């Protein structure tokens, strides 16, 4: 009889199963946060029960409409999504190495400031040369700012949470000094001049009209859509991050480093070098977040105290955790957090619900992920189902004698009720062997 060959599961089915298991926990966290946010609205809204449920539905409809309701709203959401992708990748690559980078806000500030300084110092360069120089400057300075944390962690053992917090405030105060002092715009207070015109990135709609719009239908009123071409570079950064972490030796080493430090050391992986490189790469991603926001969004200038009040660097922690440090997860997490930020103001205006509800939902998302609610529920359900399917200790022998329990020479009784002859029949079938017999043979 020919042996049957097991059927191979299609690659698409395997990918869908893997994607489902990866997205299950973040999706559960979002649903739980929305439910908890709805409870907050019901408890804080005055009036009858019907009025409270009406306020709840209006609030979430306004939140959805203000973020993804139409093309124009979605374009404003993408303005927030672009920097969140870069900053989220900054936190995610550090997480892969077992490091907690909460310094993306400071690295973003240093990247934006370095790009601005290059633009102010070389205003006569053409845009095709000036823009790459500004981006390279933000990558270099952001990488140095993150690399400092890696050096202190790898060679001095300084905890990255403490050092990133300190460097955040160092970056905030240093950039405020430059904005208010040497690079302050004439006859202005607390802001720099605009970067050169040739360094300003066009909006995505205008770029489309100038390129594909020459032979395809043009977008009317392109100025109504705020998203700029930096969103394309953000999507490209996701592909680069995926390639680095999944298809390179460095990506494999930082994964091993993050999962088991002792195993990485045993395998000969350089702990210090990879810690430094992971934090330097994290700083480079965050630096690009600051540079692209400066180059792509009006008024194309820096204002004092902006970085210390900007939530992007800290929202990136939630983006990376929600996305489970994967490229697809970071994209989806950025869309969620960007949509919450953009739709929150619209919800406050149209549904008369405080925009602080957005912060509550974000906090509940992080709380749900950190508390591991879904894995705990899955483990509890698994134990319950196993207990319910567990067979009885003694099988029913209704109408049968003990002798009838032996079928084909085997016993249906539990091992506790079997005789020594049944449990160990081999002891009677041959000479006894000492424990050393096997060793001597």
Residue-range domains of the chain with CATH: 75-343 (1.10.3470)
Sequence-distant (≥ 6) Cβ neighbours of residue 180 within 8 angstroms: 190, 304
Sequence-distant (≥ 6) Cβ neighbours of residue 113 within 8 angstroms: 141, 174, 175, 178, 290, 302
Structure confidence at residue 27 as a pLDDT band (50, 70, 90): confident
DSSP secondary structure letters along 228-292: BTHHHHHHHHHHHHHHHHHHSHHHHHHHHHHH-HHHHHHTT--HHHHHHHHHHHHHHHHHHHHHH
- 268 Ramachandran zone, left/alpha/beta (phi>0; psi -120 to 50): left
Which pair of structure tokens corresponds to residue 115?
A: 């790009």
Give a three-class secondary structure readout of 351-384.
CCCCCHHHHHHHHHHHHHHHHCHHHHHHHHHHHH
How many angstroms separate the CA atoms of 114 and 134, rounded? 7
List, for residues 40-63, the tens digit of each pLDDT value: 888 888 888 898 899 899 999 999
Question: Hunting for tokens 């205008």 — which residue is that?
Answer: 206
Strand partners, 203: 228
pLDDT at 279 over 90: yes
pLDDT at 214 over 90: no
How many angstroms separate the CA atoms of 336 and 64, rounded? 10
- Please give the helix or strand (H or E) that residue 411 lies within, else none: strand 410-411
Which pair of structure tokens corresponds to residue 412?
A: 């249906």
| 316 in Cβ contact with 88 (< 8 Å) | yes
b/e burial code for range 278-303 (CB count within 10 A of at least 16 → b): bbbbbbbbbbbbbbbbbbbbeebbbb
Query: CA nearest 112: which of 280, 299, 292?
Result: 292
Per-residue pLDDT, 418: 47
List, for residues 230-254, the tens digit of each pLDDT value: 999 999 999 999 999 999 999 999 9
| Torsional sign, CA 221, 226, 228, 234 | negative
What is the mean predicted confidence (pLDDT) over 22-45?
84
How many angstroms separate the CA atoms of 31 and 70, rounded? 23
Query: CA nearest 36: which of 360, 261, 428?
Result: 360
Which pair of structure tokens corresponds to residue 97?
A: 């190495």
Which pair of structure tokens corresponds to residue 427?
A: 């002891």
Q: Which residue has the higher pLDDT, 72 or 30?
A: 72
Which of these ranges, 116-125, 129-138, 317-326, has the smallest mean pLDDT? 317-326
pTM of the model: 0.81
Q: Which residue has the higher pLDDT, 217 or 430?
A: 217
DSSP secondary structure letters along 113-129: HHHHHHHHH-TTS-HHH
| 191 in Cβ contact with 184 (< 8 Å) | yes
Q: Which residue has the higher pLDDT, 300 or 416?
A: 300
Structure confidence at residue 21 as a pLDDT band (50, 70, 90): low
**HSE of 438 in the Cβ direction (CA atoms, 13 Å)?**
2
Per-residue pLDDT, 395: 53
Mean of pLDDT over the chain:
84
How many angstroms separate the CA atoms of 416 and 430, rounded? 24
Which of these ranges, 89-98, 261-270, 365-374, has the smallest mean pLDDT? 365-374
Query: CA nearest 210: which of 199, 222, 198?
Result: 222
Per-residue pLDDT, 11: 66
List, for residues 152-178, the tens digit of each pLDDT value: 999 999 999 999 999 999 999 999 999
Per-residue pLDDT, 415: 45
pLDDT at 277 over 90: yes
What is the mean predicted confidence (pLDDT) over 191-197?
94
How many angstroms separate the CA atoms of 117 and 106, rounded? 17
Structure confidence at residue 94 as a pLDDT band (50, 70, 90): very high
DSSP 170: H
Question: Hunting for tokens 């298809």 — which residue is that?
Answer: 247
How many angstroms separate the CA atoms of 272 and 275, rounded? 5
What is the mean predicted confidence (pLDDT) over 87-112?
96
Structure confidence at residue 95 as a pLDDT band (50, 70, 90): very high
Per-residue pLDDT, 405: 44
Per-residue pLDDT, 367: 80
Per-residue pLDDT, 427: 44
Query: CA nearest 130: which of 289, 290, 291?
Result: 291
Neighbours of 311 (CB within 10 A): 15
pLDDT above 70 covers a percentage of the chain that reads 79
List, for residues 364-397, the tens digit of each pLDDT value: 887 877 766 556 666 666 676 666 665 555 455 4
How many angstroms separate the CA atoms of 230 and 83, rounded? 9
Per-residue pLDDT, 430: 44
């Amino acid at each position: 009889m020919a042996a049957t060959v097991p059927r191979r599961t299609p690659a698409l089915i395997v990918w869908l199963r893997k994607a489902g298991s990866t997205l299950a926990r973040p999706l559960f966290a979002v649903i739980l946060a929305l439910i908890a946010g709805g409870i907050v609205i019901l408890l804080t809204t005055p009036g009858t029960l019907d009025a409270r449920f009406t306020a709840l539905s209006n609030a979430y409809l306004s939140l959805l409409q203000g973020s993804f309701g139409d093309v124009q709203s979605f374009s404003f959401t993408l303005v927030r999504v672009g920097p969140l992708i870069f900053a989220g990748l900054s936190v995610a690559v550090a997480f892969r190495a077992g490091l907690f980078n909460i310094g993306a806000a400071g690295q973003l500030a240093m990247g934006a400031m370095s790009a601005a300084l290059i633009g102010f110092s070389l205003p006569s360069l053409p845009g095709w040369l000036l823009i790459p120089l500004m981006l390279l400057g933000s990558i270099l300075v952001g990488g140095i700012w993150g690399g400092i944390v890696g050096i202190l962690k790898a060679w001095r053992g300084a905890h990255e949470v403490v050092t990133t917090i300190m460097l955040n405030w160092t970056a905030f105060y240093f950039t405020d000094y430059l904005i208010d002092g040497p690079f302050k715009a004439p006859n202005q207070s607390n802001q720099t001049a605009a970067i050169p015109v040739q360094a300003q990135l066009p909006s995505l709609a205008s770029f489309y009209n100038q390129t594909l719009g020459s032979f395809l239908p043009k977008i009317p009123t392109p100025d109504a859509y705020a998203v700029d071409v930096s969103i394309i570079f953000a999507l490209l950064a996701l592909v680069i991050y995926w390639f680095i972490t999944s298809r390179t030796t460095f990506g494999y080493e930082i994964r091993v480093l993050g999962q088991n430090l002792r195993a990485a050391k045993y395998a000969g992986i350089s702990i210090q070098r990879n810690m430094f490189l992971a934090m330097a790469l994290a700083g480079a991603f965050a630096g690009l977040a600051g540079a692209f926001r400066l180059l792509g969004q009006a008024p194309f200038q820096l204002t004092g105290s902006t970085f210390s009040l900007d939530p992007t660097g800290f929202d990136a922690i939630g983006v990376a955790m929600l996305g489970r440090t994967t490229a697809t997860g970071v994209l989806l997490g950025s869309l969620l957090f960007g949509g919450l930020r953009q739709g929150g103001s619209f919800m406050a205006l149209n549904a008369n619900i405080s925009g602080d509800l957005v912060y509550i939902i974000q906090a509940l998302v992080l709380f749900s992920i950190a508390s591991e609610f879904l894995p705990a529920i899955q483990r509890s359900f698994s134990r319950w189902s196993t207990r319910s399917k567990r067979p009885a200790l003694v099988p029913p022998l209704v109408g049968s004698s003990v002798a009838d329990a032996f079928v084909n020479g085997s016993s249906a009784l539990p091992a506790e009720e079997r005789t020594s002859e049944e449990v160990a029949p081999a002891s009677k079938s041959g000479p006894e062997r000492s424990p050393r017999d096997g060793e001597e043979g």
